[in-house]
Amino acid sequence: MPDRFDLPADFRWGAATAAYQIEGAVNEDGRGPSVWDTFVARPGAVRDGHTGAVACDHYHRYPEDIALMKGLGLDGYRFSVSWPRVLPTGAGAVNPAGLAFYDRLVDALLETGITPLPTLFHWDLPQSLEDRGGWLNRDTAYRFAEYATVVVDRLGDRVPAWITLNEPFVHTVFGYALGTHAPGRALMFEALPAAHHQLLGHGLAASVLHERGLEVMLSNNLTLVEPASSSADDVAAAAAYDALHNRLFTDPVLLGRYPDLSALGVPDDIFGAVRPGD
């Protein structure tokens, strides 16, 4: 292994954040509640009762934050758009003040020479959509496409590249299977329809972006999986985990099909979520 790795001359330095983790201002300028606002109110859900009500106060301090980015020498900044800030109930009436915030943010980044890279969904589903089933409800995928259209039509003239979903595996497993993240459901493998509906939402939003000549990305968190030994059981266990963690959200996008999850008791139609044409 070499002692030194040199980055290419055109390497671009960046940083990334998520709306609920930094914006604060959860009750300002027409923003609606998200699943995280509800989740953090549960006693014991978050250590020491912390919430995102203020967080880094980025909603008010974004000019200072951008100055810090410039001081760090960043070339790009990935942030997420808060769905409930733009569409307080997840669908229907648009909140002009919410869109205006991202207008100001994008313009300020560009003026500083920092490339904005928005993520459309970083786990903060509008609570009103969760009340109707959240990502377990197929309809949420179509509401996501409508939301994507609103945001992209406002910012797409200045932002050429977009991420649809941030780490949907994490949101599915911790939010719907284990219940340790919002929305706090603990459904184990029966959470997987939420995975399929997120992928459906990605596909619908990707169509919106492609129609406008924009670049589309999906942010997956992948991990190296190796069997503990060469035994058949360990090899099979590693293959099953690799299929679930690494390929659940990559194979459908790249290959047009799900990996074989039968070893985990998951049927090909993901518990009835997959429909013809998906």
What CATH class does 14-221 carry?
alpha beta
Instruction: Measure the N-to-C terminal CA separation of the chain; round to a whole number of Å.
Output: 44
Are 111 and 151 within 8 A, CB to CB? no
pLDDT at site 3:
85
Query: Following CA atoms 75, 163, 221, 53 in sequence, which dihedral angle do they give, to the nearest 10 degrees?
Result: 80
Domain-by-domain residue ranges, the chain? Answer: 14-221, 224-278
pLDDT tens for the 278 residues of the chain, in order: 678 889 999 999 999 999 999 999 999 999 999 999 999 999 999 999 999 999 999 999 999 999 999 999 999 999 999 999 999 999 999 999 999 999 999 999 999 999 999 999 999 999 999 999 999 999 999 999 999 999 999 999 999 999 999 999 999 999 999 999 999 999 999 999 999 999 999 999 999 999 999 999 999 999 999 999 999 999 999 999 999 999 999 999 999 999 999 999 999 999 999 999 99
Question: Long-range contacts of range 248-251, CB-CB < 8 Å, 24 or more positions apart?
Answer: 248/169, 248/172, 248/192, 248/195, 249/168, 249/169, 249/195, 249/198, 249/199, 249/218, 249/220, 250/220, 250/222
pLDDT at 1: 65
Q: How far apart are CA 164 and CA 240, in angstroms?
A: 26
For residue 61, the model assigns a pLDDT of: 99
For the chain, how many residues are written?
A: 278
Q: Evaluate if pTM is beyond 0.85.
A: yes
